Structure 1
């Protein structure tokens, strides 16, 4: 009996070691194949440009799903489509595994962009700017956690989790520490139908009910989550 237990234990250890080695090999291969992505997304998936998303720490299943969508045309992007078309299934999985294994970077303290729409408006003091930003982030926090019942805007927390960590089994993306500018663009694209042509898409149905102020507020809030 003891001999059988030892045999089973050793087999499990060897299997676990083999799986770990396979996973590490996949990540290594993914790093090499992701070299062409570094210009926009950063070498380790932490984009330095706020218009391009951070991919570090994103769920592998979600990344695979998005690359497949770019390949099939289900998700439109003149930039990403030709790159994704050149990837086979193995490359898609390896690149996704590499980015999923990286750690997302924290964002610096947020600042509101300068408002150039009214040149005659009095210049705001630093205290006024901080108060405005604090109000915006508080508004975003409330919308993220509670939604807006009056306009039938669902709470983000339901799918993306209390800390915007996403839902790995459901392939709902992690959003924490993402660039606010990218989140604003993404939600705006969903709202305008530019992100998807499927009018039954859950994000389209939510975003179309959001105001521009809602989108800005929740994006800034999410960008502060770690």
Structure 2
């Protein structure tokens, strides 16, 4: 266990050092707003997307946004649409766009509701039972976020993303609070399946590969409610 925590500490130190590559350099927020005009169709006004599969960018740490835009640009993060957009951005464009989104206020999500089961052979679930099920899921997610699942070597999210999921700017670890649950579920699943790997020491894959589908859903819903 001590070796695992040592490895995590070294990873955090490496991430903090590497984030200096994206240190503030004459960021222009007004210019960033203009340059981000093409982002609105997917990421919404002021970086608050209306489509739950597209991430909110508002109030996201600048260092993380810069890191991801550079990753799309150099191909270390795969997404054809974002790669095409990032290729057209200069280093100064990336600095300005990241500063603009960091300056915006992230919107708060509504309390999630448990969906109906699509199986017609199963009896309908009452609204009261749905609420009980969602409360249980949120409680499970909160426990995972704060404490992890040490018997299964799943680290606590709080260690890197902060007590309120506010992120870690120096280490370029993203803010997660008030993010769409659907986007978080997809992202964690991509890390789990190895479809995304642009993070220090592939740490997120090492964590998520030990998480169940239910755990990913639970922690994603809980994070979406944090603010």
Contact 1:45–1:102 (CA under 8 A) maintained in structure 2: yes
Partner of 2:101: 99
CA–CA separation in structure 1 for the residues paired with 2:114 and 2:26: 41
Q: Does 1:219 align with 2:211?
A: no
SS at match of 1:150: helix
Q: Structure 2 unaligned runs (5+)?
A: 1-24
Q: How does 1:3-152 map to 2 (within 5 A)?
A: 26-116=28-118, 118-152=119-153
Task: Give the drift of 1:25.
Answer: 7.3
Higher relative contact order (CA 8 A, sep 6+): 2
Contact 2:71–2:198 (CA under 8 A) maintained in structure 1: no
Task: Give the drift of 1:101.
Answer: 0.4
Q: CA RMSD of the aligned region, Å?
A: 1.8
| Matched residues, number | 204
Q: How does 1:165-204 map to 2 (within 5 A)?
A: 165-196=166-197, 200-204=201-205
Contact 1:154–1:206 (CA under 8 A) maintained in structure 2: yes
Task: Give the drift of 1:24.
Answer: 9.5
TM score, norm. by length of structure 2: 0.86
CA–CA separation in structure 2 for the residues paired with 1:26 and 1:145: 36
Larger Rg: 1
Task: Give the drift of 1:114.
Answer: 2.7
In the superposition, relative to structure 1, how do residues 114 and 192 fare at CA in structure 2: closer, same or farther (>3 Å)? same
